[in-house]
Amino acid sequence: MATKTAAEKPTPFDPAFDFLESAIALPLPTLVACFGSDDFLRRTAINHLTAGSGIDSETIRSFDGETDPWRDVHDELATRSLFDDSGTKVAIVRNGDKLVSKCREQLERWTDQAVVDTCLILELQTLAANTTLYKLISKKGKLVRCTPPQKSSWGNPLDEKAIQKWVVAWANTKHALSLTEKQSALIVDRIGGVCGLIDCEIAKLALFADSNRKVPDKRVSELVGGWRTQTAWELSDAMADGQIATAIEQLDKLLTAGQNAVGLMAQVSWSLRRYGLAAKLIEQSERVESKMALSVALERVGFNRFDVAKAESRLKRIGRPRAKEMITWLVDLELKLKGSHSNDHRSRLAFESLIMKLG
């Protein structure tokens, strides 16, 4: 990892990739928040923390932030029995966003009091940096940002080079597989920044490794991005091209085969959001009377220069008004799939609604 210069301010959080390479220091912090958009990174960070601490997994209690009240979590951490040893008590709250929303003040007091020999681990999708809880955890606990690394340029596109580096390291340490830089670049290009899918692809490749833990380039090209992954990209392309019938057909194949709607949304969103970011970047440049070319905007938001011509054609077809609404539509789809449209039938309707908007 690159060393920070004196001019750079240290971040209050540990990026997930850095955290997963670090040793776990004892004693554990009173409160740890693993927050961010990537489910796989959140789960993996929590597993790394608990396994690296050496604490017996049988003694760790898990709670669901959607259903379990704060008092149960608090009582688990605060109560000691006659048979307790002197070790740290650990409680994990999965899906903790609702708990934070309802019990923010209690969590702030818990963090501020710094109870000895207890560790509360929160799994969160979001944690705003301007909240008191965030600031308390940054001072007295630990923040782990579980989002694939992004570049600092406008729109925060994925830092594909950093992800490729992680792919090589992760394959080596977790799957005993030796990948080349070229192979890792192919994986990231086909899968995108969805770390859980990347892990699945690496696990699949490991089954075909030779005695030197390597897989030939041709084999990697054949295996990475099986039909579901490829069909998801075809779905995204069909939506961008306005091919309604093709998009609905691809959607039907994926959902009928048991593809998780939220996971599918992540792949589609990663592909389509770039058109929205490009439209906003162009509009921003016009405000300062320095109009940016479509090709330049598309490269800046993450399109490979070899794909820019096709992306430019698609963006023109979509048009500025719809492209500007793209990110809002994708966020709305995610909220529906995790809430009102979480069942199979309604999730299909939510996807089809977006397809029709882009038709």
| Same structural domain, 193 and 309 | no
| pLDDT value at residue 81 | 62
Q: Has residue 100 been placed in a domain?
A: yes
Structural domain boundaries enclosing 100: 14-76+90-145
* Residue 29 contacts residue 119 (beta carbons within 8 Å): yes
| Same structural domain, 215 and 265 | no
| pLDDT value at residue 10 | 58
| pLDDT value at residue 8 | 47
| Same structural domain, 19 and 141 | yes
| Same structural domain, 62 and 24 | yes
| Same structural domain, 211 and 249 | no
* Residue 227 contacts residue 265 (beta carbons within 8 Å): no
| pLDDT value at residue 4 | 44
Say how far apart CA 337 and CA 262 lie, in whole Å. 6
- 143-152: average pLDDT: 90
Instruction: Give per-residue pLDDT as tens, 295-354.
Output: 888 888 877 666 788 888 899 999 989 988 988 988 888 888 888 887 777 888 888 888
Q: Has residue 83 been placed in a domain?
A: no
Residue 136, H or E segment: helix 132-140
| Same structural domain, 40 and 133 | yes
CATH of the domain at 330: 1.20.272.10
Instruction: Select from 145, 169, 191 the last residue of a domain.
Output: 145
Instruction: Give per-residue pLDDT as tens, 207-220.
Output: 899 999 999 998 88
DSSP 5: P
**Model confidence band, residue 134 (pLDDT cutoffs 50, 70, 90):** very high
**Domain tally for the chain?**
3
- 223-233: average pLDDT: 71
Say how far apart CA 216 and CA 218 lie, in whole Å. 5
Instruction: Select from 202, 225, 248 the last residue of a domain.
Output: 225
CATH of the domain at 27: 3.40.50.300
Q: Has residue 8 been placed in a domain?
A: no
| Same structural domain, 277 and 353 | yes
Concatenating the DSSP letter of every residue in 204-264 gives HHHTT--TTS---HHHHHHHSS-HHHHHHHHHHHHHHHT-HHHHHHHHHHHHHTT--HHHH
Whole-prediction pTM? 0.64
Instruction: Give per-residue pLDDT as tens, 25-43.
Output: 888 898 999 999 888 899 9
